[in-house]
Amino acid sequence: MQLFDYMMAHGHEQVVFFQDKDSGLKAIIAIHNTNLGPALGGTRMWPYASEEEALVDVLRLSRGMTYKAAMAGLALGGGKAVIIGTPAKDKTEALLRAYGRCIATLKGRYITAEDVGTGQPDMDIIRQETVYVTGVSPEKGGSGDPSPFTALGVLHGMRAAAGVVFGSEELAGRRVLVQGLGQVGRHLCRLLAGEGAVLTVTDINPRAVDQVVKEYSAKAVAPDQVYALEGDIYAPCALGAVVNDATVDRLKYRLIAGSANNVLAEDRHGDILHQRGIMYVPDYVINAGGLINVAEELNGYQQQRVMEKVARIYDHVRQVLFVAEKENIPPYRAADRLAGERVHRAGASLRMGMPAGAPEPSGKHVPEVRQVG
């Protein structure tokens, strides 16, 4: 890979490689953009097949974080880190502490959090070496599990999109398919059941399915049935790239709104959905609740403030869908444009020597906030 060419093409500011021989640490931190503030993004630990694969992943993920933070109205930039290794085998206290010292050298330009392969106990270890870490345990001023907030944000966004697609934000009676009943999917089922939605669920883990079926009277279907079913709303809450060449023409839902990251295998799949009249709510707009939650740790964590900010996902989704409709473009393009403009404006302010600031997007409508957790 021609790294500088890639960085220039996609606007990355900085990529840092770290190694620690004693602990076996091999980490890459990518800072995509800091116009709006320090780059916050999780640390993914994964047994990448090659260094190039790890590099591509961290570059792609860090850029996504810039857009996510910008759309969420946060005073944060986008960054991400990867550690090459198998968590169960390679993740030791020595490795995490060495990694914490690496983060410290960036002096706050990058702030980490948990991601695939890392969790709250790991963040607590990293905290021993640096303050530039979120997602630590509540006893250490942390915010705990972000999943209920991610699920709540998805619910707010789903309501906003339902208003546009169905002419009513009411979810009672809507047939919703939840794919993936892990941390977020489970909470989303609870919230949707509370709204009176008619739930169909699927997961590759039968125990997760049984629990949700029992608790929320949901109907279970096999994982491969998702693309054969017909319904109102499809909520992908498992893996990414579920809208791809094999599925995009088969989907028979009017709205796609879920927590999964990178739902579209490629941008062109978003164009096809648009042509087919299926509304896709861009992942990073609707699934920002978890980021909003950890970001609050930097302000002195208060759950009520998190709930209010997560409720604004409703407005962010409305704004994206408004622009998409007005300009007859797919929502993913509208979101990229809105987020890109905000980052660009902040960059222009900085160049003129003015604070970039991070005004919250106008949150006129804050829907009723329900209990989470």
Catalytically annotated residues:
80
CB of 32 to ligand NAD, least distance (A): 17
- Comparing CB distances to ligand NAD, the nearer of 96 and 260 is 260
Handedness of CA 183, 187, 188, 189 (dihedral sign): positive
Which residue's beta carbon is nearest to the bound ligand NAD?
A: 182
Q: Does 181 appear as a known binding residue?
A: yes
Site string for ligand NAD, 339-358 (x = CB under 6 A): --------------------
Within 148-177, the residues that bind ligand NAD by CB under 6 A are 150
State which of positions 194-213 bind ligand NAD (CB under 6 A). 202-205, 208
Nearer to ligand NAD (CB atom), residue 13 or residue 157: 157
**37-68 residues labelled b (16+ CB within 10 A) or e (exposed):** bbbbbbbbbbebeeeeebbebbbebbbbbbbb
Residue 370 tokens, joined: 């329900």
Contact 9, 57 (CB under 8 A): no
> Is 311:367 a contact under the CB 8 Å cutoff?
yes
Residue in this structure with the two tokens 């707010």, named with its chain if needed: 156
Q: Where are the alpha helices (H) located in 136-280, listed in sequence order?
A: 147-166, 183-195, 206-216, 267-275
Q: Does 134 bind ligand NAD (CB under 6 A)?
A: no
**Nearest to ligand NAD of 151, 346 (CB atom):** 151
Smallest distance, ligand NAD to C-beta of residue 331, A: 17
Q: Is 135 in the site for ligand NAD (CB under 6 A)?
A: no
Residue 158: both structure tokens together = 């789903």
Q: 183: annotated binding-site residue?
A: yes
Cα separation, 210 vs 193, in Å, equals 15
CA 313 to CA 72: how far, in whole Å?
7
What string marks each residue from 274 to 303 as x (binds ligand NAD by CB under 6 A) or -? -------------x--x-------------
DSSP β-ladder status, 25-33 and 77-84? antiparallel
Q: How far is CA 317 from CA 19, 178, 258, 301, 365, in A?
A: 41, 19, 12, 25, 12
Annotation-wise, does 185 bind a ligand?
yes
Q: Considering the rule CB under 6 A, would residue 33 count as an interface residue with ligand NAD? A: no
247 binds ligand NAD (CB under 6 A): no
The residue among 225 and 299 lying less far from ligand NAD, judged by its C-beta, is: 225
Number of chain positions touching ligand NAD (CB under 6 A)? 25
Q: Which residue in this structure is represented by tokens 């060495």?
A: 98
* Stretch near ligand NAD under the rule CB under 6 A, chosen from 11-19, 53-61, 98-106, 253-261: 253-261
Binding positions for ligand NAD, rule: CB under 6 A: 146-147, 150, 179-185, 202-205, 208, 223, 237-240, 259-261, 287, 290
Positions at the binding site: 180-185
